[in-house]
Structure 1
Amino acid sequence: MKEAIVLYPAATSHQMISMVELAKLILQHHPNISITILVAIMPSDTSPISTYISSISQTSLPISFLSLPPPSENPPGPAAAATLGKAAFDYIRLYTPKVLDVLKAISLTSTVLAFIISTFGITYDTLIPTYLYFTSGASSFASILYLPAIHNQTTKSFKDLPNNTPLHFPGLPPIKPSHLPEPLLDRDHPAYQEFFSLGTLLPNLKGMILNTFDMLEPQAIKAITEGACVPKGSTPPLYCIGPRIVDAKQRGASDDALSKCLLWLDKQPSQSVVFLCFGRKGAFSAPQLKEIAFGLERSKQRFMWVVRNPPPNSDTEPDLEELLPEGFLERTKERGLVLKSWAPQAAILSHQAGGGVVTHCGGTQCLKQ
C-alpha cells in the first residue's frame, strides 16, 4: 500500500494555512508520500478557509483536502468563537467521530505513517502515530506543557495569587500572574481547561512539532527537550521546523492589494514609516480605534495602519470613514496609508521604508520580523 500522512488543522484559516506550509515541507523531503488534509470549519471562518483551499487546489501541489461533514448541532456564534468560549471547543470536539471514521477509511488503502493535529485537548483513539503541530513558539508551548505541574502547586487561580510572587515556568523568565494571557488567569475558564487538557495529553503523543528554531528560543527549547516541563513524566521528541512564513502570494492575495502597499512605500523615505498591525484577532473597539488615529495624527509620523472592524464583526470589511475621526483620512493622506483588514506583512516588514513596528507580538509576526 502507498504511504500517507494525514493532517488535521484546528478550524481557523490561520491554522489551515500553517498546516499547508507543513505539508509543503514534508513533500520537499518525501515527494512520494500522499498528503491528506482534513477540513473542519467554524461557520465564522467558512469563506476565508474555502477561498484559501481553492487557491491551493489550483496549484500543482499534490495535497488532497477532505471536508468533514459538519455536526448537526447548532454552531457557536462569532462571539463564542472569538473569545475561546466553551461552545466553540465543544463544537470542534463534535467532529471527533468523523475524524476517526476518515482515518479508518484511509487506512484501508494506505499505510498512514502519521496523524498530525493542531486541535487542542482532544484525544484520538487511534493506533496511528499522532503528533501535535503547534504553530506558535517554544516559549508559549513550554508554558502549556508545564501547566499541569504548576496547576497542582496551588488550589487558586492565577488571578488570585499575589502579583509580587512570580511564576516560574522552565525556560522562561519569571512571570507575574497578572501578565499571563487572560484565559489562563481563571482555572474555571473553558479556555484554561482546554489548555490544561492539552498539557496533560502532550506527553502521550509520538512527537511535537513547533514553528520555531533554536537560535530564536534556545532556553525554552532546551527546557522542553531536557524534560523540565514534564517533571513527573516523559517528554516526546521535539521537532523545530521554523521559520515557516507565508507570503502574500501564497495566501492568495491579489496583485492589486500587494502593489498598493509597495507602491506607497516606494515613495517614502528610508526607515521613515511605522507599521501598525495587530494580527487577525487584534481587533479594537471603535473608541480605541479613534484614540489610535488621534495619536497617529498628532505624532506627525509616517505610518501604515491595518484596521479591522470592532468585534464581534472583525471578519467583515471595515467602513473607515465611519470608524475613524471625521476628516482623518484626508488630513493624513500625504503621510499615512490605512488598509482594510489585511496587509502583506512580510513584504512590508522587508521594505527599506520601514522604520518601526507596533504589533501584538504574535508568533508569526515575530518570525517575519
Structure 2
Amino acid sequence: MNAETIVVYPAPGIGHIISMVELGKLILGHHSTDLSITILLTTSCMDSPSVDSYIASISRSHPAISFVQFPALAEDPEMVQRRSPGAVLFDFINRNAPNFRRSLLEIAAGGGRDRHVLWLSAADKSLKDQHGVLLNLPGGLPPLKATEMPEPALDKDDPDFSNMHEFCFFLAKSDGILVNTFEELELTGLRALTSGICVPGGPTPPIFCIGPLVSGPESWDTDSINVQDDLAWLDQQPSNRVVFLCFGSRGTFTEAQVEEIAVRLERSGQRFFWVLKRPASDEISKQVNTNLSEFNLESVLPDGFLEKTRDRGRVVKSWAPQVEVLSKGSVGGFMTHCGWNSVLEAVVAGVPMIAWPLYAEQHLNRNILVENMRMAIAVDEGGGGIVGWKEVERAVRELMAEEGGKELREKSLRMKEKANEALEDGGSSLNNLCKVG
C-alpha cells in the first residue's frame, strides 16, 4: 500500500464517519511527512440529511482528507422485513465488499501493511429469552441484564449472531486495535482487555487508546441547517440551567413516550433544548433510519406545548450540532441515549449526563457511566415500555438541582481536563498514536 495514503472505512452512519474523520485529523496534525487520508463511504438508508453538509465542510477545511462514496445498492424489501436490523446491516456491508476492494486497489496498489481496527463502541440459549438474568461481566465491569446485551448477541438463530461472532473472531486476530477513548476514562475496561480474559486461548492484540476523537463546531455548516436562532437562544440563558435532550442520529421514541417527556418539561419549569426526531411506530424499534425530517413537529407534541414553553425551551426537528450545543455555558445537563460519540462529546464538554439507553451497546455504556465512571444518573425504564413523566422529572431534578448533581458536575469537569491532557504533547492518547506502526 502507498505509504503516503491512509485509507479508512467506517461502518454506515454519521457517527462512525465522524470518528474516522477525527482520527484522520489527529494523524495529519501529528505526522512529520506528507500524508493524505481517504475515507470510503457506503450509501445507505442510514445516511442522515447532515451527511452531505458535513462532508462538504470537512473537504473545504481539510483538503488532505478526501471521500470516496460507493454507489447505492438496491434493497430487497422482503429481506428487510424478514431479518433483524443488525442482520440487514451486515448483509449491506458484505454486499459492499466488491466496492471496497475495487476502491482500495484504485487508491493504493500492492504492499502488505498491518491491520488495525478502530473500535467505535465500548450462549447455549438465546439471551433474548433470559428475562431476569444478570450477566456478570469480566474485569470488574458492572452486571448487565441478559436482554440488554447488544442486539447481535441476543438471538443465536438470527444471522446477525453468526455475523457478529465472525467479526469478533477476526477482530481478535488483528495486529492492533485502536479505541476511541482515553486511558484515564476507562481504566476498568482497559484492565479487563489487557489482562487476557477477553481472548481466551490466544494473545490479546495490542490496545491503543487514541481518543477522545470528537468533531469540533467548525466541522458543521450550521448556517445551511437553520439552527442559528436556536444556538443564539442558548447564549442568552443562565449558566448551567438548560437540559439538553438528544438521542443520537437515529434514536427516537413512540408518540406516547414523546408526550410523556413533553408533559414533564412543561410542568417542571425547567429550561430545555430538545432535538426531536420523527417518532417510531412501535416501542421495539427505538430508531429511525429514513426520512428524518418528514414529520410535523406540532402534530407529535401535546396541544399548545410549543407556545406554553416558548420562553424557556426550544424544540429542534431532527438534528442540531451536538458538539456546539454541549459547549454552550448555559447547558448544565445532557439527557442522552449513551451512544459512544455522544458520551465522549459530553466528557470533552464537561457536561454530566442523564443516561437513557435505547439500543446497541448503549445499556452497557449506561451501566459503566453510572457505576464505574460516576458521571451519569440513570433513568429507570421500568417494565411497561413507557418511562413516565415522574421518572423523567426525578432524573432531571436530581441532576440539575440536588447535591448529587453537583458532585456529578465536578467529576465531569475533572474528566474534561483529563480528556484534554490525553491529546496534548506527552499525553496518553498521543503517545499511543505514536506507537502505532
TM-score by length of structure 1 reads 0.81
The offset of 1:315, in angstroms, is: 1.7
Bigger shift: 350-359 or 44-53?
44-53
1:194 has 2:194 as partner: no
Partner Cα separation in structure 2 for residue 47 and residue 95 of structure 1: 21
The aligned runs of 1:48-127 (5 Å cut-off) are 48-71=50-73, 73-74=74-75, 84-108=85-109, 127=112
1:222-265 C-alpha deviation (Å, 9 max, x unpaired): 22123221011122111111111113331333277453233212
Partner Cα separation in structure 2 for residue 367 and residue 352 of structure 1: 18
Closer, same or farther in 2 for the Cα pair 1:83/1:310, shift >3 Å?
A: farther
1:200-234 C-alpha deviation (Å, 9 max, x unpaired): 11111121111101111101112212322101112
Partner Cα separation in structure 2 for residue 15 and residue 52 of structure 1: 13
User: Pick from 311, 333, 337: which aligns with 2:310?
Assistant: 333
The aligned runs of 1:313-332 (5 Å cut-off) are 313=290, 315-332=292-309
Q: For 1:353, give the aligned amino acid.
A: S
> Which residue in 1 is equivalent to 2:114?
129
SS of equivalent to 1:254: helix
> Which residue in 1 is equivalent to 2:345?
368
User: Pick from 229, 234, 244: which aligns with 1:275?
Assistant: 244
Query: What's the C-alpha RMSD, in Å, of the aligned pairs?
Result: 2.8
Q: Does the aligned pair in 1 maintain the 2:179–2:211 contact within 8 Å? A: yes
The aligned runs of 1:10-25 (5 Å cut-off) are 10-25=11-26
Question: Where does structure 2 lack aligned partners over 5 or more consecutive residues?
Answer: 281-287, 347-437
1:19-42 C-alpha deviation (Å, 9 max, x unpaired): 111111111122412322222211
> Which residue in 1 is equivalent to 2:283?
none
Closer, same or farther in 2 for the Cα pair 1:228/1:99, shift >3 Å?
A: same
1:296-322 C-alpha deviation (Å, 9 max, x unpaired): 112222211111112445622442111
Partner Cα separation in structure 2 for residue 250 and residue 268 of structure 1: 25
Q: Does the aligned pair in 1 maintain the 2:135–2:146 contact within 8 Å? A: yes
The offset of 1:333, in angstroms, is: 0.7
Q: Does the aligned pair in 1 maintain the 2:53–2:220 contact within 8 Å? A: no
The offset of 1:83, in angstroms, is: 6.0
The offset of 1:105, in angstroms, is: 3.3
The offset of 1:359, in angstroms, is: 1.5
Q: Does the aligned pair in 2 maintain the 1:307–1:318 contact within 8 Å? A: no
The offset of 1:367, in angstroms, is: 1.4
SS of equivalent to 1:58: helix
Partner Cα separation in structure 1 for residue 265 and residue 83 of structure 2: 28
Question: Where does structure 1 lack aligned partners over 5 or more consecutive residues?
Answer: 113-126, 138-153
SS of equivalent to 1:192: helix
Q: Does the aligned pair in 2 maintain the 1:37–1:64 contact within 8 Å? A: yes
SS of equivalent to 2:143: coil
Closer, same or farther in 2 for the Cα pair 1:310/1:80, shift >3 Å?
A: farther
The aligned runs of 1:144-293 (5 Å cut-off) are 154-161=123-130, 163-254=132-223, 257=226, 259-293=228-262
Bigger shift: 76-85 or 334-343?
76-85
Partner Cα separation in structure 1 for residue 52 and residue 243 of structure 2: 33
1:104-161 C-alpha deviation (Å, 9 max, x unpaired): 33333xx76xxxxxxxxxxxxxx44222112233xxxxxxxxxxxxxxxx41112334
Q: Does the aligned pair in 1 maintain the 2:15–2:341 contact within 8 Å? A: no
SS of equivalent to 1:133: strand
Partner Cα separation in structure 1 for residue 187 and residue 331 of structure 2: 28
Closer, same or farther in 2 for the Cα pair 1:77/1:368, shift >3 Å?
A: farther
Q: For 1:134, give the aligned amino acid.
A: W
Closer, same or farther in 2 for the Cα pair 1:272/1:44, shift >3 Å?
A: closer
Partner Cα separation in structure 2 for residue 252 and residue 78 of structure 1: 37
SS of equivalent to 2:217: coil
Q: For 2:154, give the aligned amino acid.
A: L
Q: Does the aligned pair in 2 maintain the 1:317–1:341 contact within 8 Å? A: no
Partner Cα separation in structure 2 for residue 298 and residue 314 of structure 1: 31
Partner Cα separation in structure 2 for residue 255 and residue 67 of structure 1: 22
Partner Cα separation in structure 1 for residue 86 and residue 66 of structure 2: 31
The aligned runs of 1:25-64 (5 Å cut-off) are 25-30=26-31, 31-45=33-47, 47-64=49-66
Partner Cα separation in structure 2 for residue 75 and residue 266 of structure 1: 47
Q: For 2:188, give the aligned amino acid.
A: Q
Partner Cα separation in structure 1 for residue 303 and residue 169 of structure 2: 51
Partner Cα separation in structure 2 for residue 34 and residue 5 of structure 1: 6
